[in-house]
Amino acid sequence: MSHRILVFYGSYRRDRLGIRLATFLVEAFAKRGHDAELIDAKAVGLPMLDRMYKEYPAGEAPEAMEMLAAKIKAADAFVFVAGEYNWGVQPGLKNLTDHFLEEWFWRPAAIASYSAGRLSGARAGLAWHGILSEMGMVVISSTLAVGPISATLAEDATPTGKPGEALDRNFNHFATDLEWWAQAAKTHRETTPPPF
């Protein structure tokens, strides 16, 4: 079954390597028959958090926020591409997610971390697990950890060398896990309204 999957990416840096992983994920999910879309925090351009979406009167939120809220509400699953900054999460992606709350509820989320080094952004991935759970998502147990990213994905997001082969293999397990949870949550939402 096809699902609507949003892939979130949050680097604001000039030379963004993580966009390779975000692009790879969108293309790989599309090949599996899903409607996958990249949500690039830099392109969306939300300001530093002042008011959450729910704090605006109906119809008065900024246009970019209104459009993104509708996409989040319509999605079946989310993937967060987590770069690691000083053992922590990217501020651009964290700022984007914090503009919303109830919009995220009752859907699964997956984490794909990356870094320029060998630890593959694992510490950022761990931090995101708690954040996304607190925001009402079910975080699947499967993760992707990519590093060094420049040795794994070429500029056009094509897997390269042995690290790229490993990413291709690991993606199938990651995607299957997310698909199962997306279908389970979708089916349950159709028969049982969320309790809050």
Q: Which long-range contacts (CB under 8 A, 24 or more apart) does 159-165 make?
A: 159/24
Count of domains observed in the chain:
1
pLDDT for 30: 98
11-49 pLDDT, tens digit per residue, is: 999 999 999 999 999 999 999 999 999 999 999 999 999
Separation CA 167–CA 137 (nearest Å): 25
Would you call 48 helix, strand, or coil by DSSP? coil
H-run or E-run covering 98 = helix 91-98
Separation CA 109–CA 96 (nearest Å): 15
CATH number at 141 reads 3.40.50.360
134-147 pLDDT, tens digit per residue, is: 999 999 999 999 99
pLDDT for 143: 95
HSE-up of 75 (CA within 13 Å, CB side)?
29
Does residue 94 sit within a domain? yes
Q: Report the length, in residues, of the chain.
A: 196
User: Whole-model pTM?
Assistant: 0.97
Interior angle at CA 172, CA 171 and CA 173, nearest 5:
90
Residues of the chain where predicted confidence (pLDDT) is lower than 70: none
Does residue 52 sit within a domain? yes
Does residue 166 sit within a domain? yes
Does residue 196 sit within a domain? no
Domain that holds residue 117: 4-191
The mean pLDDT of the chain is: 96
Does residue 81 sit within a domain? yes
Would you call 79 helix, strand, or coil by DSSP? strand
Separation CA 63–CA 132 (nearest Å): 24
Structure tokens given for 76 = 């079946």
